A and B are shown apart, each in its own frame.
Chain A
Amino acid sequence: MTRILDVENLVKSFSLSGGMRVHAVEDVSFHVNRAETFALVGESGCGKTTLANLAMRLQKPDSGTIKLLDTDITHLGTKELRPHRRHLQMIFQDPFASLNPRKTVGKIVGDPLRLNRAASNSPDDDRVAELFELVGLSADDMRKYPHQFSGGQRQRICIARALTLNPSLIVADEAVSALDVSVRATVLNLMIELQQEFELSYLFVSHDLAVVERIAHRVAVMYLGQIVEMGPRRQVFENPQHSYTQRLMDAAPIADPGQRRERALIAGEIPSPVWPEDQGPEKVTLNDLGGGHLVAAE
């Protein structure tokens, strides 16, 4: 299997006032294969967004390496990074914030073509029209502005823009989280279909276990900046081994009143990844249970 993205031992922390430090991502390694959806799940503040941003090279890691299609991109400068960027695209939670309100959506989707001349030997407009149809919009929509579309349509426009340069990997950070349920399902269907058609890979970041179960081939569960369990979706969901994964699974609502469960009433809180400057979390060791299913020792 071809590895599209391979990150090793990534670390990122942020210094806070009062001699404290947030250990947002703490020695994390994972890879994403071709035509695979790799999901990062976990509760808020566990480091999903920071990790996705590091993988995208939107933030610089304190240490660790990021390999994209066998090239180490960890230390590449803006200019050296450019030819690699096209393989790596991103879609966000709020499709409106990432679309320039003063440009037509046709221009927005075509911009990467114009910026990346190497790819444009076919007329831009034809390619853009093709992309619009690919994501379920009409070529006539190209002349409209972002505000003329619904949230779900805007997310389709963002997907079209991400696809413009035939990327290998799309990083989707909570990209369907703000959508209404029926719209969310159609966008997820689109993502699955595009994956099959173009052998796309997704790094799919989400707090929603039911959605992740539906779309992921492999899953990593994050807790306090670390991966505590990782493996094929089927193994992790059907046979969760880490106590935190189990707690998460138990807590997730199941859309079937016949499966309602009794739950403990104790009040827990999500612990914080903030430590005094001279301290930090203990390193976890991941044990291999076979079949690529890794679990942190407890």
Chain B
Amino acid sequence: MNQYINRKYVIVGIFSLVVLIFISRLFYLQVIDQSSKLLASNNVLRHVSKYPARGLVFDRNQKLLVYNEAAYDLMIIPNQLSEFDTLEMCEMLNLTKEQVIQRLSKAKAYSYYKPSIFEKLISARTYAPLQEKLYMYKGFFTQTRTLRRYPQKIAANVLGYVSEVDGKITKEKGYYKLGDYIGAKGVEKSYEKVLRGKKGVEIFMVDVHNRIKGRYKNGKYDTAAIHGGNITLTIDAELQIYAENLMQNKIGSIVAIEPSTGEILALVSSPSYNPELLVGRVRSKNYLELQKDTLKPLFDRPLMARYPPGSTFKTVNALIGLQEEIVHTWTRFPCVHGYVSGRFRMGCHPHKSNLDLIKSIQNSCNSYYAHLFRNLLDHPKYGSFENGFETWRKHVLSFGFGKRLGVDLPNEKQGYIPTINRYNRIYGEGRIKSLNIVSMAIGQGELLMTPVQMANMAATICNKGYYFTPHIIKELPQAFNDLKMPLTVKRYSDIDSVHFNPVIEGMYLAVNGLDGGTARNAAVKGLDICGKTGTAQNPGKDHSIFIAFAPKNTPKIAIAVYVENGGYGATWAAPIASLLIEKHLSDTITRKYLENHVLKGDLIHVIKK
């Protein structure tokens, strides 16, 4: 084997070559490189993050909804501290001596050498006197941050808020460091990437006395902060303010959509809160209080609350009946103050009997829909109950129910459309009868929908069969335009467009019918409002529901109003929707008495006692 003995020289050669390369590299790094010499005299580098201002948020008429105000974090590096005037510091920052001592020890526990935040988000007013005296406080320095400001103080649930990142986020997303802020709710969260911009960094060389000695390598490794992108929302601030006012002292939601685009004009969750409460130093205290509030102001009802749709759902059942040729516009069903089948009875309110389809919507006849729904489920052409149910369910899903619509706000809920499996579990395999679930004919039972799904139902009806995903974003910086792509797709329900005409006519008559209708108080002359009331049974007082759109022939607004414990649909929801439609279409309110009545209405303090 010794024929290979010379290879030992190759191997030793490789070892020596690598060590030689390393030593030359080290010679360059440690002896030749300029910055190393500077650093060799006990200097350290300080990395100062440059925080970009977040993007601004405008409403659809370019009214400013969110802007930024400068704020300052007071930073501390414990090992650079020297004696300082604690009393003065307390005064300037409005802290107690105990707080100062506690924060000092917290910073020391974190690190002696790394900067940590001593007091965050100091406002410009507090900062001015502090800045003048800061040179006397060795070991302290400030970094610039921004605070969100809300000139309109509306739409807290839409705008959301930013919060400090936690350890989990910094681990999952490399961009964020402890102390950074991230959009946590609303558009702040869903458009975080657009709004946040890009952090920059400045690297300084500082000596042991915390004096800046210059930029490290003349700023070669510095990066500039890039301002966040501005966004324009589809919200109409005036309509939003008005809607929030109408909902004061009531629990519920309003969703108003422009049917031709899917743009959300107003999105109210009531009760709400002033968005300024969740900004800056007061954030955590206020957040805890809001979280404890039993009326749940932080709960984004239009997207997250799941309610039964009540009688508003009769419109969908009518459409499915027409599509499946279970009924025709001239089909009549009897109503004997309700629906009777054997020992089962479902009540109805007084109206003329033997209504046709249009009148059945105008008068919201429960019996009509019980007949329609059972005829559909039990129709022999499907072969089995199961197939009939699946046919109905498929149509329902095509309206966007039972799944997330894809609204560009966080936390949208799915709602719920029951499956056959669920009934098989409850009643036993194949034991379910149409009578067991007849309450779904009138939007009760297991059906659950979010208010935004109900508004989308109104939009789909007035569009005669299609909708756009309801969305909140109107304009984005060019680079992010692809985020809007899924929002511009027409989505079709699987009901033929001709079938919508009688349903629209029924909704028109429900509001404007001379021979009576369930929502006559919602009529406004010349606006041709079409609507459908709903009343959802509830362990407490019933919920008041109204979906509507207007004008009948060229719809500009589709709306859903849900007032918890508001009683009949016509009691609260219909007048509120009607006032909002009037405001949106004609910009004036002619019915001051109705407006006053709604504004004064207080349902919360009734519940509370």
Say whether A associates with B.
no
Chain A residues in contact with chain B, CB under 8 A?
A: none
Chain B residues in contact with chain A, CB under 8 A?
A: none
